[in-house]
Structure 1
Amino acid sequence: MASILIAEARAVDRNFLVTLLGHHGHTMLEASDGGEALDLVRRRRPHLVISDVLMPTMDGYEFVCQMRAIPEVADTPVIFYTANYHGREARALAERCGVRAIITKPSESAAILAKVDAALGCQRPVVVAPPDGERFDLDHHQLVNQKLLEKVQRLAEAEHRLSALVDIGRRFAHERDPRAVLQHVCTSARDITLASHATLVLLSEDGTSVGAVFMSGVDADRLKEISPGIPSADMLSELLEKRTPVRRPSGRRTEGPDRETTTADASSYLGVPIASAACVYGWLSLSHKLGADEFTKTDEEMVATLAGQAGVAYESARLYNDLQWHVSALEQEVAERRRLEVRTEFALAAARIGIGETDLDTGRMIWSESKSALFGIALASFGGTTEAFFALVHPEDRPALRQEVAAALANGSHDLVTEFRTIWPDGSLHWVQDRARIAYDPAGRPLRALGVGLDVTDRKLLEAQFRQSQKMEAIGMLAGGVAHDFNNMLTVILGFSELLAEQIRPDKPIGRDLKEIVGAAQRAAALTRQLLAFSRKQVLVVTPLDLTTVVREVESMLRRLLGEQITIKTELADDLDPVTADVTQLEQVLMNLSVNARDAMPKGGVLTLATRNITLDRAYAAAHPGANAGSCAALSVSDTGTGMSPETRERIFEPFFTTKERGQGTGLGLAAVYGIVKQMNGYIEVESHPARGSTFTIYLPRTEQAAEAATGATITMSPVGRETILLVEDEVSVRAFTKIALERFGYQVLEAATAEGALRILDDVDITIHLLLTDIVLPGIDGHELALKVARHRPQLPVLFMSGYTTRLSTIDGLLEPGVQLLEKPFTAHTLLTKTRQILGTTLMVHRS
C-alpha cells in the first residue's frame, strides 16, 4: 500500500480522509497547513499528496509549486480536495501546477478512492455513463448537488465562525494579558473571514502614534513589501473618529498626480475600530479575502462584533493589569517596609541599640527585639511591664534607678538619661544606658516615655582601662621622681665607696664591710632602674633585631636560672619580622617574665617561649587601648602555674604590687616589663585564669630595617686627664664626689651649684674650659637650657649631661636626641672618667677586650 499525505486545515475533513484511506490499507501522514505539509514532503517523501487549496500560512497552489521545485519529490502526484476551487479557472490553474485531479468537497467515498487509485496508477473499474435519455436527470442532479454543496459550504462556514466565536469568548473570559487578547483577535478575525492577511494596530497611550502591531498570515520580512491593512487618511478618519467599519472590494488603484502611480491590483479590504464605550484603542485590518472579490456584510458584522468585544476585553484586561500592578506595588511596598524593618532591626542589633515605649498610666512597655537583646533575653520572654523591666536591672542599681525615674516624673523633666547594670542569664555583667523623652498632657500629667537603650559595656570597660592608664601614668611620674632622688644618693654611696675601696686592702675586715655596702647600693640601683623602666624614663639603645635570636641567646641562661623543675619549651618562628628594640631591655623583660612564671609554678611546670608574626587589626586596637594596628612580631611567655584572678590581673603592672609573701618580691618586675614594652612602642597582653596558668604576649611593631648581628663589647680602664671641666650640680654630696674623682685623675674642676653660677664662670673669657659636665635637673634654669645658652656663646664646648632620668633629653620614643652625651646616675668614678675621656679624646687611654 502507498504512503499518502493529507494537507487539510479543517480537522473534520482531514479526519474523514485519513479514516477512509487508512481503512483501505494506506499509510497516512497529516498536516494542517502548507508549511507543515512541505516539511513532511521533504522528510517522508509520500507516494501521493491530497491537499486543500485554502490553508493558513501557505495555500495549496503555492505549496504545490514549492514542492515541484524539490527534485526528490517533484514527480509526486497531487490531488486537490476543495469545496470552491473546482471551476474552469481553478482547474486550469491546477493543471498548470501539475495537479492530477480535483476532488470536490463533499464527495462519495467511491469517487475519492477512484481518484486516489488513478493517481497512484492502480485504476479501479470505471463506472459507465448513463444513456442520453437520462441527461436531464443527470443535469438536474448536478444542479441540485451544486446548490446543496453551496449550502453545505455556507453551513460549514457558519459552523466555523461559531466555533471561532466560542473559542474567542472562552479566551476573553480567561486571558489577562491585553496584548495576548489582541493577538488572538487578529488571528481569529482572519480565520472567520477567510482573509489572507490580518493586521491589528494598537495606538499609543496618547493616540498620536502606533504603539504596537499584531499580525496573522503576514510574513514579517515581507511586511514592508505588501503593506497589508494600511488604510488611507479618509479610512482612518472613518475608523477612529466616526468608529464605523470600512469595507472595500478588490480593484485597481491610482494615486494623485503628486504621488507615485501604482499599477498593482488593490486587494479587498475590511477595517473595523477596536474600541470600548470609553476609548478607541486602534483598528483591525483584513485584506485579500480568499475565494471572493470582497468581504461580505456578514464578514463586516461578525468582525465588528468581534472588535467590539475585543475592545471591552482589552480594556478589562488593562484594568485588571492596572489592578494587578497596584496590588503588586502595594505588596512590594509592604515587603519593602518589612525589609526596612528587618534591616533597621538588624542595624539596631548590630549597634546594640534598642527602642522602647512605656505607657506611664498602665505601666505597659513595648520593646523592639534589639532592646530585649540588651538584657540577654528573647523578646517573647519579656513581661512587658515596668516591674518586669526593673526585675532585669542589677539589684544594687535598682533602688537608685527607681529614684531617678520618680524624680524626673515629679519634676516634669522631658529628658531622662540613666545608666545601670544588668546580669544576663549566662551570668555576664553588662551596662545599659537609657535615653528617654517624656510626653505630658496639657495638665502636666506624664503620659508616655519613648526612648532608646544602648549597650555601653565596652565604653565602661574603656573608661576603666583609661582610669587604670591614668593611674599607671601618675604612679610612673611618682616613681620617676623617687628614682631621681635615689640615684643622687646612690651616686654618692657608690662613688665614695669606690674611692674608699682603692685605699683599703680587700682582705681587711673594713674592706669586706665596704664590699657589702657597695653590694647593697648596687641592689638599690637595680631597684631604681626598675622604677625608671616602669616610668619609661630610661635611655634606650635601640637596633633592628630578631626576637627569635634574642630568645635563643637568653635560653641557656634561663635554664640555669630557673632550675631543673622548670621545663622550657620553645616555639620560635624562623622567618620573624625584625623589630626596633633595646636588646638589653628585652633580655631584662624575658628574665622578669620567666622568674615570675617560675614563682607561679612552685612544684615545677612548663615554661613556653614563642615568637610569631601577627597583624593586629583596627578592631583589636580599638578594644585594647595602647595597642596599635599593623604588622607586629609577637613574643609570648606562657606557664602552667597557678594563674591569676581578674582582680589580680588588673593590678599586676602596678609598682610594688605583689602577691608573694613579704621578703620574696619587690613588686617591680612586671612594672618594669610594662614600662620597657611601652617605651619601645609595644603592647603587652595578659591572659590568665586561676589554676590554668598565664600567658604574657608582647607585640612590637615590625621595622623595614634588617636585624643586626650581636657584637662583642669593649671594656675600658679609667684614664687620666689634664683638661679643665666646669661641673654644675645642685646636690652638694654628688658635686663633691664628682669633683674629687676628676681631680684625683688629673683634671682641673670648676664647680657651680646653679646654671646661673655656671654662666658667670663662662662669661670670663680668660678661663679655658674643655668640657661642661652638668646635671639636668637644676633649680631655675635646668641643664638642658643651660647647654642651649652655652652653645650660642661657646659652640665648640662639648657637654656631658648627668641625670637619673632623661625626659628633657630624649625623643618621644625614649631615645636620646642626636649628639647628646649622657652619664646615667648612679655612676661610679670609673664610669665617670671613662665617659669623660671618650668625649675629650683618647689620651692616656688603656683598653682591654
Structure 2
Amino acid sequence: MRFRTKQMLIFSLLMALICIAFLVFSLGFYKNRMVDEAEYRRSSLAMHLHKDIINMIYAEDVLQLTATLRSICKDVTYIDYIFIIGDDGHLLTHTFDTGFPSELFNVNLLPADKTSSSRHLLTSKGRIRDFAIRTARHMQGEIHVGMNEEVFYKQINDFVKITIIITIVCLALGLFLVYVISGYLSKPLKNLYLGMKKIEKGDLQYRLEEKGDYEVLNLLQGYNRMTESILDSTTRLKQAKEKIEKLNSVLYAIRSINKLITMEKDRDRLLQGACDNLAGARSLYSAWITLLDESGAFVKFAQAGFGEDFLPIKEMLNQGELPACGRIALKQPDVVVTEDPASNCTNCSLKDRYGDRGSIAVRLEHGGNVYGLLTVTVPKDVIIEKEEMNLLKESAGDIAIALHGIELEKKQKQAEEALQNSEERLARAIEGNSIPTFIIDKNHTITHWNKSCENLTGIPALEMVGTKKHSLAFYPEERPVLADLIAGEASEEEIEGYYKDSKLNKSGLIEGAYEDENFFPNLGEKGKWLFFTASPLKNRQGEVTGAIETIQDITEKRNTEDQLRQAQKMEAIGALAGGIAHDFNNLLTSIIGNAQLALNDISKDDSLREQIEEIKKAGERSASLTRQLLAFSRKQVIKPEVLD
C-alpha cells in the first residue's frame, strides 16, 4: 500500500502539474483570444454600422437610426450604448433611456488627426470600453459604441470557471483511474513487500503465488528462489553457528585444561580437573581418564559425568581389563570412534548408559611413551566432526605432555635430592680429608675449601668460598691455577704454556687430569714444595661442570730427598777418594821407603842428603793426606792421641 501510494502520488503530482500548466496556458490563450475577438467584433460591428448609419445620417432618418441602434444594443448583451455625433459636433442620436450623460460627450471626442480610438471609461454602469470611429474621413461626425467589460469578462470568467471545474473533474477521474491501475499493477509488488516483511520477521517458509504477466511472474519466481536460497543459507548458517558454539565450548574446555596444566603440578588433581573441564563442555556428556604404567598396568583413573555408574569400570580396570574401545585406542595413535557403544562394546558396563550417544577414545601419548587413555561420550551427530576429534586428540597430547613434565619434574626432584645428598656426602668427605682440597665450578667460583686447605694456606674457608681469588693463595699475583685451566677446558698446549718449567704430567688414573709439583715461596716462612693434582668434574651427560684440585705439602719429603742425595753424593766421593788413596798410598810407601834407604846409604855431609830428606818429608805429608782421604771415605773422624 505504501509503495502504491508513493507511486500514485508521484504520478498524480506529475499529471496535476501538466493539467495546471495546460489550464493556465489555455485560459490565458482563451482570454486573449476572447478579448481580441471582442475587439474584432466590436470593430467589425462599428464598421458594419458605419455604412448603414452613414446612409441613415445622409437620409436624415433619425428615428429609424435610433431604432436600429437600440435593436443592436438589445441583441448584443455586452454593448451598453451607441451614440452618434454629427458633423457639426452635436449629438445626433443615442440609445440611453434616461438621457445622454454629458460626461461622455466631451471626453470621447476624437482628436482631429485620428479616425478611431478605444478608451476605458468609468460610468454609473461600471467599467466601459468606448470605441469611436469617424463617420467619414472627410467628415467630423463620430460613431461611439460602449461595451460593458464587466458583462463581457463575466462571460469569460464563467467560461473559465466551467473549464476549471471540468479540469478538476477530469483530474479527479484521472487520479482515480491512476489509483485503480496502480493498485492493479502494484498488487504483485505489494505481495512482494509483504513477503519481504515476512523475511524480515524471520518467516522464511512464506511463498508468493506465481501468477501474472511475464515480467511480474519472473519477479515473483525470483523472490521465491531468493527465499529458498536464504532459507538454505540460514539453515547452513544455523548449523555452522551450532557447530562453532560446540567447538568453542570444546576449545574453552581445552583452554581451561591448558591453564590447569600450567598451574597444576599434582598428577591426580590434573587428571580430575581435565575430566571436569571436558565434561562441562556443551557437546560432551562425560569424560574419563585412566593412567597406565610402562607395562600397561592400571595406575590411576579420574572421571566426570558418570557418578556411581563408573564403579564397574573401576573394578574392570583394577582387574587389568579395558573396554573394547580402550584396547583398540592403545594399539593405534589415531582417534577411535564408537558410534554405537551399546552394540560394539559388549564388555563395557556403561553401554546401557550411552543410549543415543557415542564415544571417542584416544591414547595419551608423548615422545613415544603412552601414559594412558582419554575417553569422552558425545552426541552421535558430533562424532563425525573432524574438528572435534582433532581438538580431543590435541587435548590428549597436551595432557600427555603435562604428565611427562610431572614425571620429569619428579625425577628431577629425586635427582636433585640425590645430588644434594651426594654433595653433602662429598662436602663431608672433602672436609674430613687430611689432604688440602678445593673445588671450583664452571664459572671458576670456589664451592669447597676444606680445613686442610685452610691450614696449608692460612686462609679460612669463609673468605674463600663464593670468590674467585684462590690463585692469590698460592701466587703473588692473580693467574689461572691448574683447576681453572681444566674447568675452562683449556687445550693441552695452553696448560703446558703455564707450566713450562715444572714437572707437569697427565694423570694415569683419571682422564683429563693433570699433576705437577712446584715450589711456592709465598707459603710459610721459607716457602713450600707442593704436589698438586687437578681433575675435571662432569655431569651425567659428560659435560664439564667444574674441577677439583688436591694439594700435598712435600717440603719435608723434598728436604729428606736432598739429604739423601747429598749423602749418596758424598758416599760416591768417599769411595772414589778411598780408591785413589789406596793407590796413592802404595806409591808413597815406595817413595818413602826408597828415600829412607837412600838416607841410610849416604853420609850426613852429602849434598844430596837435604834433597832426599825433603822428598821423604813430602812423602810423609802425602801419606798423612792419604790417611785423611781414607778416613773420609769411611766417614770416620780420626783423632790422633799421644799414648806415652
How high is the TM-score relative to the length of structure 1? 0.24
How high is the TM-score relative to the length of structure 2? 0.30
Which structure has greater helix proportion?
2
